[in-house]
Amino acid sequence: MLTLLLVCSAVAGKTQELFVYTEPASNMPAHSLGARLTNGFAGNNAAGGSLNYSLIPELMIGVNKNLMVHAEGFFNNNNGAFRAQGAGLYAKYRFFTHDAVYRHFRMAAYGRLSFNNGAVVQETIDTYGQNKGYELGLIATQLLHKQAISASAGYTQVFEPGKQGITNDKAINYSLSTGRLILPHNYHDYKQVNFNIMADLLGQHLLNSNKSYLDIAPAVQFIFNSQTRIDLGYRQQLYNNGLLRMNTNGFLLRFEHTFFNAWK
């Protein structure tokens, strides 16, 4: 899913889109640090509807205007007890930019490398907290004043495909997102509270079995002082042609804070 907002316009001197369930082609400001805490709440389809809780803390670094890096930790109670399950590294490189008045188009390449010791209990592949593997992909984002539209596609490979009888090890992930800045109507100061609404279509196709799913994920977002961000989203399954999924519907609650000009 996807958001748009005038982030740090007075500080950075430009607009920037932000997303909840996906990353945009834009990066966080150069020489900035970010701390993010993502909470996931979902019913466990394999355990009589019990609640699955996941926690993903992240440290984000804006290396320069084109490169950003995330260090991620994965915690959940999927195995009955809440504990650390793994960690990951995410990097994104923006390689194309076309800026104009009140609009821009950007493209980026991304990669994630994840390690996870938790049990594999679903056919779907998720390197953001569930599987050991890697993902490589591309993102394209168009900003049109207060509206953002973004699309992404990526290839995912699991390192241990035969673990616990789950044989799918290759997948294509894709997303289509849109978001809109609702408030403020007129932007005068970076301290104004920003309110954004958005929606994402999130899908995956497993190359081994030709099984697929498609989810929709509406969300709202609040930005305070152009530095502190709160996201609230809900992910709902729209289509599934026989995939075993542990979590099909659930809420996301995220807190994030950015430290600008953390170093020279």
Structural tokens at position 1? 């899913």
Query: CA-to-CA distance for 103 and 144, rounded, in angstroms?
Result: 5
Length of the chain: 264
Per-residue pLDDT band for 13 (boundaries 50, 70, 90) equals very low
**Bridge partners, residue 16, by sequence:** 5
In the chain, where does DSSP find H-type helix? 9-12
139-148: per-residue pLDDT in tens? Answer: 999 999 899 9
Per-residue pLDDT at 14: 40
Class of domain 32-259: mainly beta
Closest CA to 183 of 196, 201, 199: 196
Per-residue pLDDT at 12: 35
Per-residue pLDDT band for 163 (boundaries 50, 70, 90) equals low
Residue 15 has pLDDT above 70, yes or no: no
Q: State the DSSP code for 11.
A: H
42-92: per-residue pLDDT in tens? Answer: 987 665 567 889 999 999 999 999 999 999 999 998 877 899 999 999 999
Per-residue pLDDT at 47: 55
How confident is the model over 228-235, as a mean pLDDT? Answer: 98
234-241 contact pairs (CB < 8 A, 24+): 235/21, 235/42, 235/202, 237/213, 238/201, 238/214, 239/212, 239/213, 239/214, 240/212, 240/213, 240/214, 241/211, 241/212, 241/213
Closest CA to 23 of 173, 227, 182: 173
pTM: 0.90
Domain boundaries, the chain: 32-259
HEC string of 18-82 equals CCCCCCCCCCCCCCEEEEEEEEEEEEECCCCCEEEEEEEEEEEEECCCCEEEEEEEEEECCCCCC
**Bridge partners, residue 139, by sequence:** 108, 152
- The number of helix segments (H) and strand segments (E) in the chain equals 1, 12
Residue 250, judged by CB atoms within 10 A of its CB (0-12, 13-18, 19+), counts as buried
Which range, of 54-63, 186-195, 218-227, 234-243, averages the lowest pLDDT?
Answer: 186-195
119-137: per-residue pLDDT in tens? Answer: 787 889 999 998 999 999 9
Per-residue pLDDT at 67: 98
CA 184 to chain CA mean position, Å: 24
Per-residue pLDDT at 193: 94
Per-residue pLDDT at 165: 59
Dihedral of CA 74/78/79/81: which sign?
positive
Query: CA-to-CA distance for 231 and 78, rounded, in angstroms?
Result: 23
